[in-house]
Amino acid sequence: MKGNDIKKRVWKLTDQYGRTHFGRQWGENVTHDARGMGALCSANWIFCYDSPELALLMNPFHAALKRPHIWKADAEGKTRNANGLIRGVKKLTTLREIPLPVITMMQGVEVAVRCAKEVCSEPGWNTWADGWLSGKDRSEASIARAVADAKAALSDHAECYEAIFFASYAALAAQISELFASKACFYADAYADACIIESSNANVVIKAATKASKASSLVAAYYAAYAVYAAKDAKSTLPLTDIISQAMSMEKQP
């Protein structure tokens, strides 16, 4: 094959019914072709990813599927690669659905922070990032300082501003999510013991805290994906595959 022609193993992201935004229906041994040479973000290309982990990590920023499913697939023909984050191909065959990889909220944030560190030279923010990655300091106060450092970096470190800004906010949203989750657990235990609050109030509080925790988790996932995108835009040689592998192999305690 010449030029940008490829034949390789890729992974396809769909909704729970095997469909994608441009109306294509996928399934076992289903093939689709795309025609034309328009922009990558158009029906002229079929989108896929170089790993299932990357597909799931970038879903909040790309497809935003509420119930994503991932298919093992073979791609053929010409390809366009957007900084290693998403691939557009001309012919794709989905072979079979695979189990979703498990990427925790904190692992997603870790990927974002590590990617931002690759492009950031701002000392204050890097000090915070090292503390967060080691698990030594994930307090709300330190994250607030990181956000402030990110804002301060706009003038002197414009090339990395978006990456560190959204990585910081991803960490903040994750912290808030865990806070609400812990509150839900507290009230659930209190309800079970029937010794602190009335059951009617307990159910309301538990549902509200659980809902807030889930919402904050979704925000964290989106900001983490945005930070990865911004870091890759700032540094195309970012070792994203290695960063994802590192984050998934080391689960740190907050």
Q: 228 and 111: one domain?
A: yes
Query: What pLDDT is recorded for position 227?
Result: 94
Answer with the residue of higher pLDDT: 159 or 129. Answer: 129
Q: 92 and 184: one domain?
A: no
Tell me the residue range of the domain where 167 lies: 105-249
Report which secondary-structure segment, H or E, holds 39: none
* DSSP classification of residue 21: T
Quick one: CA dihedral 136, 215, 238, 100, positive or negative? positive
Predicted TM-score (pTM) of the model is: 0.85
**pLDDT (tens digit, 9 = 90+) per residue, 50-95?**
999 999 999 999 999 999 999 999 999 888 888 889 999 999 999 9
Query: What pLDDT is recorded for position 253?
Result: 44
Number of H helices, E strands in the chain: 7, 5
| 115 has pLDDT over 70 | yes
Q: Please, what is the average pLDDT of the chain? A: 85
Determine whether 126 is exposed, middle or buried from the number of CB atoms within 10 Å of its CB (0-12, 13-18, 19+).
Answer: middle
**254 within a domain of the structure (yes/no):** no
Max mean pLDDT range (77-86, 103-112, 200-209, 242-251): 103-112
Q: 181 and 208: one domain?
A: yes
Which CATH number do you get for residue 24?
A: 3.20.170
Q: 50 and 124: one domain?
A: no
**pLDDT (tens digit, 9 = 90+) per residue, 151-195?**
776 666 666 788 988 999 899 899 888 887 776 666 566 555 555
Query: What pLDDT is recorded for position 2?
Result: 39
How many domains are contained in the chain? 2
Q: 117 and 241: one domain?
A: yes
Q: 240 and 126: one domain?
A: yes
Cα 70 from Cα 12, distance rounded (Å): 6
Q: 46 and 68: one domain?
A: yes
Q: 149 and 83: one domain?
A: no
Q: 70 and 149: one domain?
A: no
* DSSP classification of residue 26: -
